C-alpha cells in the first residue's frame, strides 16, 4: 500500500511538473514566434498512402440544418452570407463546436455532400487566418471528423487532404501537455487517426505514445475516467471505440506499413472493456447517466449506443465493482442511489470538478427523484460558479460555503478529502474534511425507505436536496410530501422549499424545486414510499 501511495505521489508530481513546464514553454514560444513572423504551412506535400476503411460507426447529433443554419448547445444561428468560423456571439464553446465539424457525420449527411464540399473548400482557404479554429482541441476533433467523413463518403480531393495533413503536423507541434486530461487524449486520438489514414509512422507513434501513457493514467482501476464526469467518460469511450474500429478493419495494412500493432490493439481493447464495464455500472435502467461533475445531456452520445457499438466491435464486458472512481451504488426493488464518495476529481487537473463531496442522486421505481442539477454553461460567470457550488448539490454545506474551493470557471483551490468508514450492501458511511467541521454522512437503504444521517459539529448547517422537475414538494403535518414519497426529518430546525434552475443541457434550464433543511450537529432525513 505504501509503495502504491508513493508511486501515485511521484506520478502526480511528475505530471504537474510537465504541465507547468509546457505552460511556460508555450508562452515563451508564442512571443518568440510572433517576433520572427513564424507561420505554419497549410499545404504540406502529401505522402504516398493507401485508402483505409471504417466498418461502421455512430452518427453524431443533428447540428447542420441546411442553408447555413447550425444548432449547437441548444442555440441556433443562421449565417446570412458566408459562414463566420470565428463567430463569437454565442460564446467560445459554440465557436469550438462549429469548428469541430461534427455535422459532417450526422445522420442525414449524405444529402448535404455537395454543400459540404463547398463548405470544406472555403474553410481550407480561410483556416490559416482563423483564431479559435487553430487551437489544438478543436483541431483534434475536426481531424477525426474529417477523416471519418472522407472515408465514408469517398472524399479524396488533393486540396482537402493537404490541409488535413498540415493540420496534423500543426497539432503535433501544439500537443496540450500544458492542460493534460481529456484534451491531451483528444490530441492522441487525432494523431492515431491521422497516422493510420496517411500511413505516417511519425504521427501514428506520437499519438500511440500519448494514448498508452495517458489512458493508463486516466482510466482508473474500475474503468472510470479520472475526471469523474460520466459525460466525459462517454466522450472518451467513443474515441477509444472509434480507434479500435480503425485498428481492427485496417489491421493488415497497419501492420504492413506501421509495424505490428497487435499488442497496442489488445491494450485499447482492454481499456474499452473496462470503460464499458464502468458505464454499465453507472448508467440507469433507461440508459441515461447521472450528472456528477461537468455532465449534462446532449453532448456525449447515449450510453446504450456506445455499449452496442462496443458489442459490434466484438468486445466482451460486464458491470464493474465501483472502486477507484469513488462512486458507490445502493439499490433495491424501489430505490436506486448513486453516491459520490471519493475525490472530486484528479489532483493535478480538477477543472471539471464540483464542490459536491458526499452528494448523491436517487431514483425511485426507475423515475428521477433527487438529481444532480447538471450544467448549463462553461462561461466563466456567476451561473458557472453557482452550478459548481456545494449549495447546488445534494449534500451538506456549512454557512453556505463550498466544501472545495471552486473558482474561475475551471479552477479548484483547497479540495475536500473523502474517507469511506464502512460499507455494506445496503449501507455506506463516509466523511469529508472540506470544512473546519467534519461532515459525516451515513446512507441506509431498507426495503421501502432511504435514510440519510448527517453529522457535523458546526453550530449551523444546511442539508440541501434538489428534485426532478416532475416532483412536486408540499409541506404536510408529517413532513414533506414529494409526489408519493413522504420525507421526514429528525433534528431539523427549519425547512424551506424553494425553486432552482434544473439544467436540461447547455443554455437550457427548467424550473424545479429543492428542499433546504437547517440543522445543528445531527440530522436524519428519511424518504418513505
State the Cα–Cα distance between residues 266 and 212, nearest whole angstrom: 11
Domain count, the chain: 2
**CA dihedral of 381, 383, 384, 387, whole degrees rounded to 10:** 160
Chain centre to alpha carbon of residue 25: 27
**One domain, residues 382 and 278:** no
Quick one: pLDDT at residue 13?
A: 63
* CA gap 510, 445 in Å, rounded: 30
Residue reference for cell 489514414: 197
Distance of CA 483 to the CA centre of its chain: 32
Q: How far is the C-alpha of 33 from the C-alpha of 312, rounded, in Å?
A: 47
Whether residue 378 sits in one domain with residue 348: yes
CB count, 10 Å around CB of 55?
Answer: 11
SS3 132: helix
- Of 312, 342, 371, which residue constitutes the final position of a domain? 312
Both 201 and 266 in one domain: the answer is yes
- 391: which 3 cell numbers? 449549495
pTM of the model: 0.95
Phi, psi of 239 (to 5 degrees): -65, -40
Task: For residue 259, give the 3-state DSSP assignment.
Answer: coil
Query: Are 364 and 396 found together in one domain?
Result: yes
Angle, to 10 degrees, between the axis of helix 181-198 and the axis of helix 136-152? 40
For the domain that residue 262 is a member of, what is the CATH number?
Answer: 1.50.10.100
Task: Tell me: do 161 and 196 sit in the same domain.
Answer: yes
Residue 134 maps to a domain: yes
| DSSP conformation class of 340 | E
Question: 177 and 152, same structural domain?
Answer: yes
List of E strands, 278-380: 327-331, 335-340, 360-364, 367-370
Determine, yes or no, domain membership for 30. Answer: no
Chain-centre distance for alpha carbon 398? 29
Q: Which residues contact 142 (CB under 8 A, 6 or more apart)?
A: 99, 100, 101, 133, 167
- If DSSP codes are grouped into helix, strand and coil, which group holds residue 189? helix
Q: What is the pLDDT of residue 101?
A: 98
Phi-psi region of 346 (alpha: psi -120 to 50; beta: other; left: phi over 0): beta
Cα–Cα distance measured from residue 105 to residue 344, given in angstroms and rounded to the nearest whole number:
34
The CATH number of whichever domain residue 366 belongs to comes to: 2.70.98.70
Q: How far apart are CA 325 and CA 323, in angstroms?
A: 6
- Which of 289, 312, 335 terminates a domain? The answer is 312
On the CB side of 432, how many CA atoms lie within 13 Å of its CA? 27
* Residue 317 within a domain: no
**Structural domain contains residue 31:** no
Q: Are 476 and 505 in the same domain?
A: yes
What's the grid cell of residue 38?
Answer: 513564424
Residue 15 lies in a domain: no
Domain assignment of residue 4, yes or no: no
- pLDDT tens digits for 460-518? 999 999 999 999 999 999 899 999 999 999 999 999 999 999 999 999 999 999 999 99
User: What was the pLDDT predicted at 464?
Assistant: 98
Name the residue with cell 467518460. Answer: 233
Q: Looking at residue 381, what is its pLDDT? A: 96
How far is Cα 227 from Cα 38, in angstroms, rounded to an integer?
A: 36
Are residue 268 and residue 357 in the same domain, yes or no?
A: no
337 and 283 both lie in a single domain: no
207 sits in which H/E element: helix 201-218
Residues in contact with 343: Cβ distance below 8 Å, sequence separation at least 6, in sequence order: 228, 326, 415, 417, 418
Tally the C-alpha atoms within 13 A of residue 46's C-alpha that lie toward its C-beta. Answer: 15
The answer to whether residue 505 sits within a structural domain is: yes
Apex 86 CA angle, 42 and 156, nearest 5: 40
**DSSP per position, 233-288:** HHHHHHHHHHHHHHHHHTHHHHHHHT---HHHHHHHHHHHHHHHHHHHHHS-TTS-
The domain of 391 spans 327-528
Instruction: Tell me, yes or no, whether 345 and 478 share the same domain.
Output: yes
pLDDT, position 28? 87
Place of cell 442522486: 361
Measured distance between the N- and C-terminal CA atoms of the chain, rounded to whole angstroms? 43
pLDDT in tens, the chain (529 residues): 454 444 444 566 667 788 888 888 888 888 898 899 988 888 999 999 999 999 878 999 999 999 999 999 999 999 998 999 999 999 999 999 999 999 999 999 999 999 999 999 999 999 999 999 999 999 999 999 999 999 999 999 999 999 999 999 999 999 999 989 999 999 999 999 999 999 999 999 999 999 999 999 999 999 999 999 999 999 999 999 999 999 999 999 999 999 999 999 999 999 999 999 999 999 999 999 999 999 999 999 999 999 999 999 999 999 989 999 999 999 999 999 999 999 999 999 999 999 999 999 999 999 999 999 999 999 999 999 999 999 999 999 999 999 999 999 999 999 999 999 999 999 999 999 999 889 999 999 999 999 999 999 998 999 999 999 999 999 999 899 999 999 999 999 999 999 999 999 999 999 999 999 999 999 999 999 9
pLDDT of residue 421: 97
Same domain, yes or no, for 407 and 513?
A: yes
One domain for residues 331 and 305: no
Q: What is the pLDDT of residue 14?
A: 67
Which pLDDT score, from 0 to 100, does residue 6 have? Answer: 47
Of 262, 289, 312, the residue at which a domain comes to its end is 312
Amino acid at each position: 500500500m505504501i509503495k502504491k501511495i508513493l508511486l501515485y505521489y511521484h506520478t502526480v508530481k511528475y505530471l504537474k511538473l510537465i504541465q507547468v513546464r509546457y505552460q511556460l514553454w508555450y508562452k515563451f514560444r508564442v512571443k518568440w514566434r510572433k517576433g520572427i513572423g513564424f507561420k505554419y504551412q497549410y499545404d504540406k506535400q502529401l505522402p504516398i498512402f493507401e485508402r483505409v476503411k471504417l466498418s461502421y460507426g455512430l452518427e453524431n447529433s443533428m447540428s447542420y440544418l441546411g442553408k447555413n443554419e447550425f444548432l449547437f448547445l441548444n442555440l441556433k444561428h443562421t449565417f446570412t452570407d458566408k459562414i463566420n468560423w470565428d463567430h463569437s456571439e454565442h460564446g467560445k464553446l459554440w465557436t469550438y463546436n462549429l469548428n469541430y465539424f461534427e455535422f459532417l457525420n450526422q445522420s442525414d449527411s449524405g444529402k448535404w455532400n455537395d454543400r459540404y464540399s463547398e463548405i470544406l473548400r472555403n474553410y481550407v482557404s480561410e483556416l490559416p487566418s482563423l483564431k479559435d479554429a487553430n487551437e489544438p482541441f478543436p483541431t483534434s476533433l475536426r481531424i477525426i471528423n474529417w477523416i471519418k467523413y472522407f472515408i465514408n463518403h469517398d472524399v479524396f480531393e488533393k486540396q482537402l487532404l493537404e490541409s488535413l495533413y498540415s493540420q496534423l503536423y500543426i497539432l503535433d507541434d501544439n500537443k496540450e501537455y500544458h492542460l493534460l486530461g481529456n484534451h491531451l487524449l483528444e490530441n492522441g486520438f487525432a494523431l492515431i487517426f491521422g497516422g493510420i489514414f496517411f500511413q505516417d509512422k511519425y504521427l501514428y507513434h506520437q499519438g500511440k505514445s500519448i494514448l498508452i501513457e495517458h489512458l493508463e493514467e486516466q482510466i482508473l482501476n474500475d474503468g472510470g475516467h479520472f475526471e469523474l464526469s460520466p459525460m466525459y467518460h462517454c466522450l472518451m469511450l467513443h474515441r477509444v471505440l472509434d480507434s479500435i474500429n480503425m485498428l481492427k478493419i485496417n489491421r493488415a495494412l497497419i501492420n504492413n506499413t506501421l509495424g505490428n500493432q497487435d499488442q497496442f490493439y489488445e491494450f485499447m481493447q482492454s481499456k474499452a472493456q473496462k470503460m464499458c464495464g464502468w458505464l454499465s455500472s453507472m448508467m440507469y435502467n433507461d440508459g441515461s447517466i447521472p450528472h456528477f461533475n461537468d455532465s449534462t445531456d446532449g453532448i456525449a452520445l447515449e450510453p446504450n449506443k456506445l455499449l452496442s457499438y462496443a458489442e459490434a466491435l466484438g468486445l466482451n464486458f460486464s458491470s464493474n465493482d465501483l472502486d477507484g472512481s469513488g462512486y458507490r451504488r445502493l439499490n433495491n426493488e424501489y430505490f436506486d442511489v448513486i453516491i459520490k464518495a471519493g475525490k472530486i476529481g484528479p489532483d493535478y487537473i480538477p477543472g471539471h470538478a464540483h464542490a459536491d463531496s458526499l452528494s448523491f442522486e436517487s431514483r425511485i421505481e426507475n423515475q428521477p427523484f433527487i438529481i444532480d442539477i447538471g450544467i448549463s454553461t462553461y462561461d466563466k460567470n456567476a451561473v458557472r460558479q453557482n452550478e459548481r457550488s456545494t449549495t447546488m448539490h445534494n449534500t451538506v454545506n456549512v454557512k453556505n460555503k463550498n466544501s472545495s474551493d471552486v473558482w474561475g470557471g475551471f479552477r479548484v483551490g483547497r479540495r475536500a478529502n473523502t474517507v469511506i468508514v464502512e460499507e455494506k450492501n445496503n449501507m455506506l458511511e463516509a466523511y469529508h474534511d472540506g470544512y473546519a467541521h467534519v461532515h459525516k454522512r451515513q446512507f441506509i437503504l431498507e426495503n421501502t425507505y432511504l435514510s440519510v444521517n448527517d453529522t457535523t459539529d458546526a453550530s449551523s448547517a444546511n442539508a440541501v436536496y434538489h428534485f426532478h422537475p416532475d416532483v412536486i414538494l408540499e409541506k404536510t403535518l408529517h413532513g414533506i410530501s414529494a409526489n408519493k414519497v413522504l420525507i421526514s426529518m429528525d433534528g431539523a430546525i427549519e425547512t424551506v422549499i424553494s425553486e432552482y434552475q434544473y439544467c436540461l443541457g447547455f443554455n437550457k434550464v427548467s424550473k424545479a424545486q429543492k428542499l433546504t433543511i437547517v440543522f445543528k450537529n445531527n440530522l436524519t432525513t428519511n424518504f418513505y414510499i
